[in-house]
Structure 1
Amino acid sequence: MKTKLFGSVLAAALFAGVLSGCASNQSAGANASAAQSAGEPSAAAQVKTVNVALESGSKPLSFENDKGEKVGYEVDVLKAVDELIPDYNFNVELVESDATQIGLETGKYVLIGGGLYKTPEREQKYLIPNAINGVSLINIYVNEDDNSIKSLDDLVGKKLVPSTPNGGIFNLLTAYNKEHPDKQITITTGEGISVADRFKSVSDKQYDALVLPNNLGFTEIKKELGLKVKAVNPPVKINGTYFALAKDQTDLSAKVEQALKTLRENGTLSKLSETWYGEDTIKYFTE
């Protein structure tokens, strides 16, 4: 009798252990499934740290503040993107503009920024996610007392701040003159003129107008120097800006694209634009 009783107790204990193990496995599986559905990497997945590069000293896109912290519009956008991609961790470096593209081509970086436009040349060399990270507005800036200039047509006969030779603004104005042979804008060129000095020369009425992208720190410069300058609406041209990735980063590129779409849809990009540019530039861009 004792032998039979002991055997019955042992069998019951073993059966209870099996049930307990099954329950634990089911609970662990459910927790893992819940974590994955919440956008978190599973325990088996490993977070991959990758090096990404933005331009240094490029206010307000990306720069170091007085505390040595990396700040700026694109810095904040990358932080928001990183939060939406749990299986990647971005190690952000600020480097000279030339070093970003060289680093991307040599494999030092997997992603770069810098207010990049989408061009056929860049699309051939890099992966460009089909989602903007921001918007660059080409504006005409005039003295706050001047209400005579509303568009490029009104720059005919006006004295413009010199443009960088063969730069984007020079090419824009040159293209206008080719399209309007009977309305010629007087284009002068000059190098080594700081952005602050360009705005100041308009505020001081040395020049009638300045044509520049909005993402060169106008709001901050105007406030710091107390300038009497305003941007003419609507913008002359609207360009989406993009991140560029190495050709072998197809997985990351797809995830960055989806994250940027989400950030645009939920209003994050607009809020960051208002923070760094003083207005929602995202609203100007249409696909």
Structure 2
Amino acid sequence: MKLKTLGALLTGIILVSGILSACGFTNEKEKTKDGKEIIKVALSDEVNPPFLYTNDQNQPIGYDIDYLKEVEKKLGDKYQFEYQFGEEEGNLIGVSTNKFDFAINWFFKNPEREAKFLYGNPEYGYSMTALITRNDTNDIQALKDLKGKKLAPMAPSGGLRTILNSYNEKNPDNAVEIETMEHPSNADNLKGLVNGKYDAVFLNVSTFEAIQEKLKLDIKIGGIVSKEPVYIVYNKQNKELQREINQATEELKKDGTLSKLAEKWFGVNFFEDLDYINQKQYQFDNENKK
């Protein structure tokens, strides 16, 4: 019985190994006819313009794609990026099993992901957060201005909540009162802002833009509060690819290419500091975007 059990166990191990191999646990890369190594890139199907979305032909466009095209140029004839859309958590599983070489979609750093993946270094861009107010409100531009004001409810976890929690820890005498809601609707919060239910809504700027483009509410960006770095996430086996893309990214930052792409897609160079961004009166006007 013991021998049979051991044999069954070994058979199971072999089967699992075969499955894992089929899922992508291999260092061999496919190549194009002209010898370029094919790099499989996971894109989130939960699009996030202007970082990433699709055109009328369902082709990926946006800041992320333009950035990766510039990286390909920097790397010469060595690599060819191939894109595949998928659900975000599924994409990360695909990266961990080497089905994908890396994923790109507005990824922030957190300890859990840093334990599982390699992150690009440096960041390739920023996600900006802002206080959204009514057009007739001029006294809410920063978190310190929220004292005595009603902020729209937020989820109990996530990047936005982390920013506010950090602010409150550093400013206990001027802490922001946060109402918690398990699944708040950003659109409903913005409508509530217009109706006077709230004095401000705290949102990622690109999220605000996407909603405002549809709803066209009588609201504005009161002020940019923070800029959070975003990164490529790699399989841990891809240290050489990460190193090469890191170098290309650094060069693109230094030669001004990424600043130009930020201006193209966001209307402002988000590599500058917050004072500069707010002085430019950062607005979302799709007519100015290409």
**TM bracket (short chain):** 0.7 to 0.9
Q: Which one-letter code corresponds to 1:281 in the other structure?
A: F
The question of 1:47 aligning with 2:36 is answered yes
Q: How does 1:1-287 map to 2 (within 5 A)?
A: 46-60=35-49, 61-85=51-75, 86-216=77-207, 218-233=208-223, 235-284=224-273
- Once the two structures are superposed, what CA deviation does each residue of 1:51-94 show, in whole Å capped at 9, x if it has no partner? 11121132212223343121222122222212222201111112
Q: CA RMSD in A?
A: 2.4
Is the 1:142–1:209 Cα contact (8 Å) retained in structure 2? yes
Query: How many pairs align?
Result: 240
More displaced 10-residue stretch of structure 1: 96-105 or 259-268:
259-268
Given that residues 160 and 188 in structure 1 are in contact (C-alpha distance below 8 angstroms), is that contact kept between their aligned partners in structure 2?
A: yes
Does the CA-based 8 Å contact 2:154-2:184 persist in structure 1? no
Contact 1:63 1:70 in 2 (8 A): yes
SS of residue in 2 equivalent to 1:188: coil
- Structure 1: any 5+ residue segments left out of the alignment? 1-44
Identity, in percent, stands at 33
Q: Write the distance in 2 (CA, Å) between the matches of 1:103 and 1:150.
A: 41
Secondary structure in 1 matching 2:64: helix
Tell me the CA shift for residue 220 of structure 1.
4.3
Amino acid paired to 2:103: I
TM-score of the superposed pair, with normalisation by structure 1: 0.75
Amino acid in structure 1 at the alignment position of 2:215: L
Gaps of 5+ in 2: 1-33, 275-290
Given residue 100 of structure 1, which amino acid in structure 2 is its aligned partner? N
Please tell me the residue identity of whatever aligns with 1:175: S
Structure 2: distance between partners of 1:181 and 1:248: 44
Q: Secondary structure at the match of 2:172?
A: coil
Shift of the 194–278 alpha-carbon distance from structure 1 to 2, 3 Å rule, reads farther
Code of the residue aligned with 1:81 in structure 2: it is V
The residue type equivalent to 1:271 in the other structure is: K
Q: Could you give the per-residue CA deviations for residues 30-61 of structure 1, whole angstroms, max 9, x where no partner exists?
A: xxxxxxxxxxxxxxx93101211121132212
Q: Which amino acid aligns with 2:263?
A: E
> Residues 222 and 228 of structure 1 are in contact (CA less than 8 Å); yes or no, is this contact kept in structure 2?
no
Higher-Rg structure is 1
Query: Are the equivalent residues in 2 in contact too, given 1:62–1:94 (CA < 8 A)?
Result: no
Q: Matched residues in 2 for 1:225 and 1:190: separation? A: 22
How does the TM-score come out when normalised to structure 2? 0.74
AA in 2 matched with 1:236: V
Q: Which moved more, 1:99-108 or 1:80-89?
A: 80-89
8 Å Cα contact 1:135-1:239 kept in structure 2: yes
Residue 129 to residue 284, structure 1, CA distance change in 2 (3 Å): same
- The 2-side partners of 1:69 and 1:257 are apart by 25
